[in-house]
Amino acid sequence: MQLRDTKWLANRLGISLSTVEKLRAENSEAIPAAITIGKTIRYGDTYVEWWLQRRMLITVMSYNHWLNEQIPLNNTAKEIQQKEDAKEIETSKVTATPRFYKAKASQNDQLNNTAKIQPTTRTTDHEH
C-alpha cells in the first residue's frame, strides 16, 4: 500500500481538490477516510480502491478480507509478468557476430584468397 496525497485522491475520484478538502473538513463519508501523520494528510491507495468498490457494489466484503484476496491476485500477476519478461529476454539474446569479428574474418578471407591465387606465367615456344 502506498500513501497518496490529496491531489492524487481528487484525480482518482474525478473531483476538484477544493471539494475533497471541503468534504474532509466536514468529516463526510463522500470521500475515503484520511490518514494523518503529523500535519500531513494521506490516503492509502488500496483503501481508496476498496472504498470505491464498496460505493459501487453493496456486497463488497470488509476491507481486511478484500485486501487479503487482492494480494494473491497481485502476486500471481507479478509472477506471470516475471515469466513473460524472462521469456522475452531469452528470445532476444544477440546471436549475431559483432562487427569487429566480422571485419577480421573478411580480412582473413581476403588474405587467404590472395594466397591461393598463383601468378600464372606464360611460356612461349621460344623459351623452351
Task: Answer yes or no: is 101 within a domain.
Answer: no
CB 9 within 8 A of CB 30: no
Range of the domain at 22: 3-91
Region 118-126: mean pLDDT is 57
Q: What is the pTM of this model?
A: 0.48
Task: Answer yes or no: is 108 within a domain.
Answer: no
Confidence of residue 17 (pLDDT cuts 50, 70, 90): very high
pLDDT at 126: 61
Which of 85 and 19 is assigned the larger pLDDT?
19
Could you tell me what percent of the chain has a pLDDT over 70?
52
- Number of domains making up the chain: 1
Task: Answer yes or no: is 69 within a domain.
Answer: yes
Cβ density class 16-39: b for 16+ within 10 Å, e for less: eeeebeeebeeeeeebbebeeeee
pLDDT 10s digits, 28-41: 989 999 999 999 99
Instruction: Copy the grid coordinates of residue 88.
Output: 522475452
Examine the pLDDT at 95 and tell me if it is beyond 50: no
DSSP string, 78-128: HHHHHHHHHHHHHHT---SPPHHHHHHHHHHHHHHHHHH-PPP----TTT-
- 31-35, 80-84, 111-115: which is most confident: 31-35
Region 96-105: mean pLDDT is 54
**Phi, psi (rounded to 5 degrees) for 30:** -80, -5
